[in-house]
Amino acid sequence: MKIGVFDSGLGGLVITQAFIKALPDYDYLYLGDTAHLPYGEKTSGRILKYTLDSLRYLIDSDCGLIIIACNTATSIALRYIQQKFIPAYAPRVKVLGVVIPTVEAALAQPVSRVGVIATPATIKSHIYATELHKIQPSVKVTEVATPQLVPLIESNNFQYMDNLVDDYLSNFDAIDSLILGCTHYPLIKDYCRRRLPDVNIISQDELMGAKLADYLHRHPEIDSQLSRQGTRRFCVTRTSPSALAVASRLIPDIEVAEISLD
């Protein structure tokens, strides 16, 4: 069985690359639901529906372990998927998200004031503040929605990124860590580091590879079910010239197939 990686768009390719770098022998199937991007502006009901449609595709395509690389889908849908959907639809499949590993990485060093940037839906769910407080109740968390970032990143438009990042990050006062709580934001981590040089920038591409390797190490019963022929397949629900440009910027020579979830 393969490792499935799901995102609402192409940002999840950055996380997939981190997995491939840490665990190159495994077989990967990537699905980006570009037809419905951005999830971050949609209702919880829509986000849940689209995520379930995508997960069914990955499960039916023989994925035994699925990582929801999308922070928005993790925030809104992961609990339902783990508690209700998977036990009924595919009890042997494991589904993981990105929020808990990110929170663990953020709290691996001493922190007192954490900033979070993410989509409106993720911020509205307060998942980062909730999970940070579960581990460290004293931590002060400021969450800021940054809705203009994903459309610009997905359309490969970085022209005004410095100004936009400047604007958004001016909302934070004296934070010691900043969580980039969206799959796409590793692509703007350098802008954030330039703007906040003394702040620890937590970027999911730098932590998820080690987290997945650690998870498989701790779960040999799952690891032993995963095939290792080094294959990769990348699918989206809608292609466009700018989407293909982003994809090949992230993974040169990538071949992207368009699939239908109907």
| CB of residue 207 to ligand DGL, shortest distance in Å | 14
Q: Is 32 in the site for ligand DGL (CB under 6 A)?
A: no
Q: Is 34 in the site for ligand DGL (CB under 6 A)?
A: no
State the Cα–Cα distance between residues 104 and 88, nearest whole angstrom: 29
Interface residue with ligand DGL among 122, 146, 177, 237 (CB under 6 A) is 122
Q: In the block, which residue shows the tokens 């503040």?
A: 129
Contact between 184 and 11 (Cβ < 8 Å): yes
For ligand DGL, give the closer residue by CB, 117 or 196: 117
Q: Is 4 in the site for ligand DGL (CB under 6 A)?
A: no
Count residues binding ligand DGL (CB under 6 A).
17
| CB of residue 74 to ligand DGL, shortest distance in Å | 8
State the Cα–Cα distance between residues 159 and 49, nearest whole angstrom: 34
Q: Is 235 a catalytic residue?
A: no
| CB of residue 251 to ligand DGL, shortest distance in Å | 17
Interface residue with ligand DGL among 51, 72, 146, 237 (CB under 6 A) is 72
For ligand DGL, give the closer residue by CB, 1 or 127: 127
Angle at 63 between CA 47 and CA 30, to 5 degrees: 60
In our burial notation (b when 16+ CB lie closer than 10 A, e otherwise), range 171-189 reads ebeebbbbbbbbbbbbbbb
For ligand DGL, give the closer residue by CB, 37 or 207: 37
Strands across the sheet with 2-7, in order?
Answer: 94-96, 63-68, 2-7, 28-32, 232-236, 256-258
Contact between 80 and 48 (Cβ < 8 Å): yes
Contact between 3 and 226 (Cβ < 8 Å): yes
Q: Find out whether the peptide bond into 38 is cis, omega within 30 degrees of 0.
A: yes
Contact between 77 and 51 (Cβ < 8 Å): yes
Interacting span for ligand DGL (CB under 6 A) from 31-39, 49-57, 240-248, 251-259: 31-39
Bridge partner list, 177: 114, 200
For ligand DGL, give the closer residue by CB, 109 or 242: 242
Interacting span for ligand DGL (CB under 6 A) from 6-14, 48-56, 161-169, 217-225: 6-14
Positions 196 through 255 that interact with ligand DGL (CB under 6 A): none
For ligand DGL, give the closer residue by CB, 176 or 211: 211
State the Cα–Cα distance between residues 93 and 247, nearest whole angstrom: 28
Q: Is 150 in the site for ligand DGL (CB under 6 A)?
A: yes
Spatial CA neighbour of 47 closest among 111, 102, 120: 120
Task: Lay out the site mask for ligand DGL across 44-63 (x = CB under 6 A, - = otherwise).
Answer: --------------------
Which residue ranges make up the site for ligand DGL (CB under 6 A)? 7-9, 11, 37-40, 70-72, 119, 122, 150, 182-184
Catalytic residues: 70, 182
